[in-house]
Copies of this chain bind each other. A is one copy, B any other.
Amino acid sequence: MNIVDKLIDNTIKTKNPSVVGLDPDIEKIPECYKKHKAADNPFEAVSEVIYNFNRDIIDTVSDIVPAVKPQIAFYEKYGSYGISAFEKTVSYAKEKGLVVIADAKRNDIGNTAKAYAEGHLGRVKLLDGASEPSFDNDFLTVTPFLGSESLQPFVDVCLENNKGIFVLVKTSNTSSGEIQDVMTSEGLTVSQSIAKYVALHARSFTGRYGYSPIGAVVGATYPEEAARLRTIMPKSYFLVPGYGAQGGSAKDILPCFNPDGLGALVNSSRGILYSHTDKKERSLCSREEYLQKVRDAAIYMQTEIYEALSNAYPDMVY
């Protein structure tokens, strides 16, 4: 099964084209998660807290969202112990039927790009010559700064292993234009020329809804550019950051979608996990109260996006 079809099936089932970002921040995780007896090694203790926290978040939202997006930086900062929590999170989310997007923004030159692609999306060689999946994420975010030669190994590994990528095309942050908006000699922005590459590879790898898992990251904070990128990449799935905490509204995300209500997945991380921004509240609330807030925030986001979509696209498919 094409992984983008699973993503779309989940989206239709939940009427929810959004993804919960799993960005564990030890300073924001409620105190109640830190009280159980954790391991003696302080890095292992953080790893346990992160995994227990994520498991609860996944249990709380797995029936109402199609996918989760762990941001690997927040795990990797704790070294091998953190990566272990990341791996367990990926496995647990997949067990619960969620699609997992590893947000790692990896890339390097060809030989090294292949190592990242194999590790995150493919299979790795072991001592006995056999090969096994390693992270086994469903999707990975990938940086295009080193050009098409660096993207090719990811495309190849996706085709072989039925996985997907979201190539950074136009990011949501304030300084994204410094490189991404520069005009090339063909009269396209850097973003648009990367989009052309993505579209080229997306065409040959579409699922039964007509979409491709060779996708793109397109920020909600630049809706006019998103509309142009949608035209260049009609079949690619978009991962859309920038909604909520970063300032993008439900109206801003509309150009990322096609009239079928598909083609994009809107991310929210801090807005779902840390809606309890008050420090006092974080230290007092119970696990049940906290998880109710998480579920409420996820439902609020679903409702807001679904209403905006159904108003804009009355013929959408769900």
Chain A positions within 8 Å of B, measured between CB atoms, are 23, 26-27, 34, 38, 42-43, 45-46, 49, 71, 73-74, 76-84, 86-87, 103, 105-110, 112-113, 115-116, 118-120, 124-128, 130, 132, 134-135, 143-150, 168, 171-180, 182-185, 190, 193-194, 241
Contact B134 A147 (CB under 8 A): no
Contact A49 B127 (CB under 8 A): yes
Contact B190 A173 (CB under 8 A): no
Closest residue of chain B to A132 (Cβ to Cβ) is: B42
A-B pairs, 4 with minimum CB distance = A77-B119, A147-B175, A149-B175, A147-B178
Contact B134 A177 (CB under 8 A): no
CB neighbours of A49 from chain B (8 A): 127
CB neighbours of A173 from chain B (8 A): 109-110, 146-147, 149-150
Closest residue of chain B to A186 (Cβ to Cβ) is: B182
CB neighbours of A108 from chain B (8 A): 71, 73, 103, 105
User: What are 20 A-B contacts with C-beta separation under 8 Å?
Assistant: A42-B126, A42-B130, A45-B126, A45-B127, A71-B115, A73-B106, A73-B113, A76-B116, A77-B116, A78-B119, A79-B83, A79-B87, A80-B87, A109-B241, A110-B173, A146-B168, A146-B176, A147-B174, A147-B179, A179-B179
A273 CB, min distance to chain B CBs, angstroms: 13
Bound complex: CA A314 to CA B128 (Å): 52
A3 CB, min distance to chain B CBs, angstroms: 20
CB neighbours of A34 from chain B (8 A): 127
Instruction: Say whether, besides A79-B135, A146-B173, A179-B147, A74 and B115 are in contact (CB < 8 Å).
Output: yes
Bound complex: CA A253 to CA B51 (Å): 47
Bound complex: CA A178 to CA B103 (Å): 24
Q: A78 contacts which of B27, B78, B107, B124 (Cβ < 8 Å)?
A: B124
Contact A109 B172 (CB under 8 A): yes
Closest residue of chain B to A49 (Cβ to Cβ) is: B127
CB neighbours of A145 from chain B (8 A): 143-145, 168, 171, 179-180
Contact B76 A84 (CB under 8 A): no
Contact A134 B38 (CB under 8 A): no
Instruction: Say whether, besides A49-B127, A80-B84, A127-B26, A112 and B73 are in contact (CB < 8 Å).
Output: yes
Contact B109 A107 (CB under 8 A): no
Max chain B C-beta neighbours (<10 A), residue from A38, A73, A180: A73
